[in-house]
Amino acid sequence: MTLVFLVLTLAAIAFDLWLDRRQIAYLRRHGGSVPAAFAGKVSLEEHQRASTYAIAKAKLEALSLATNGLFVILMAYAGGFALLYGEVSTRFTGYPGTLVLVGAFMVLSGLIDLPFGLYRNFVLEERFGFNRMTFRTFILDRLKGLGLTIVIGAPLLWLIDYAMRHAGGLWWLYAWAIWMAVNVIAVFAMKFVAPLFNKYEKLDADLLRHRLEALLQKCGFRSSGIFKVDGSKRSAHANAYFTGFGAVKRIVLFDTLLEQLDNDEIEAVIAHELGHFKHGHLQKRFTILAVSSFAMLALLGWLAGQDWFYRVFSLQQSLFTEMPVAVLLLFFMVSPFVTGWLRAGFNHLSRRDEFQADAFAAKMSNAGDLAQALMKLQRNNATALAQDPLYMAVHHSHPSVEERIGRLTPA
């Protein structure tokens, strides 16, 4: 069984690396000329810059994948996790041991990811003119994230640890209920957490605000306000989104979006976001999260009772009695490489949702304005126009700009 798990993990890593290679080759092959659909709309220089940017991101993604894949193989199949557990369990027991084990694993994972985060922001994004983050902000973000992880994660870990020790064979059901409750609470808590990282202000552009408020009323959307966030503090990329449920729904516009688009285009973009609300896409995604996490924890509930599962990772079944959260940690370390094949299905559903939101925006605002906004965002964000179809099918949650504009402005 160790060989089976190892082969599945290696196959998943190899498949993703092959996709990255396909993407890079495709971008190089089509980077020399602007696609016919964008002739006269995008210059050759802009097209080549976007292709070069996408190639650089794909190379970094491949290196990060290979490094993290090697880390998982060493930890799971070469005895690294068993060694870490042995060192912790000889010094700590019970919940303190759980905290130390999870903390140590997070430190190791963070050290693996840190160089990639630094390179992504201060080399790759800087090279293409997108980075606006200072090293001080980079460090502060991580310290704040660490603080939130401790404040929120420690009590959550205790609850799950308690359930796994005292709830018998249905511990996984209690763990699932705790996890889903945390996700619901997080939706409401974001109102207080998000300002720790960015500055949120009520939109003060009177004309635009009145137009958007009229659009919200037209769409039957009640929100706690329309906000501007200082996204330019970290990046030149532009975005907009709505978040929350019930009385805490809010519209958020990046200041970079306000700089790059005119009022007609911003209204069309917000109409698109409202399309997600009108079609219940957030609720659907929450349902998918609930069902998939239920299935994963149910599977782990069964695996936790199988002696062979522990032997796969050079461990003993007594681990579940001594430090049960270790089983959870190990499972979720290796499971992405086994279940990653489902990404294409989830992303297909996401792309379908984007088309639905575009169609809604075309009815509630102006299809031409949304198409023009997509073109501006493509240029300003250096989104590659020609990308490998298979890579996009697996990795992309949004359709290509060409597909979206083609549906908004059919010939």
Rounded Cα distance between 296 and 291, Å, is 9
DSSP H helical ranges for 279-324: 281-303, 307-312, 319-322
* Residues recorded for the chain: 411
User: Any catalytic annotation for residue 403?
Assistant: no
How large is the C-alpha radius of gyration of the chain? 23
Considering the candidates 273, 354, 369, 388, report the single residue annotated as catalytic.
273
Rounded Cα distance between 146 and 150, Å, is 6
User: Any catalytic annotation for residue 358?
Assistant: yes
| Closest of 363, 357, 335 to residue 285, by C-alpha | 357
Reading phi first (left if > 0) and then psi (alpha if -120 to 50, else beta), residue 104 is in alpha
Q: What is the DSSP letter of 249?
A: -
- Which helix (H) or strand (E) is 6 found in, with range? helix 2-30
Q: What angle do CA 97, 103, 109 make, to 5 degrees?
A: 140
Considering the candidates 61, 358, 369, 388, report the single residue annotated as catalytic.
358
Residue type at 367?
Answer: A
Give SS3 for 252: strand
Q: Which residues are designated catalytic?
A: 273, 358
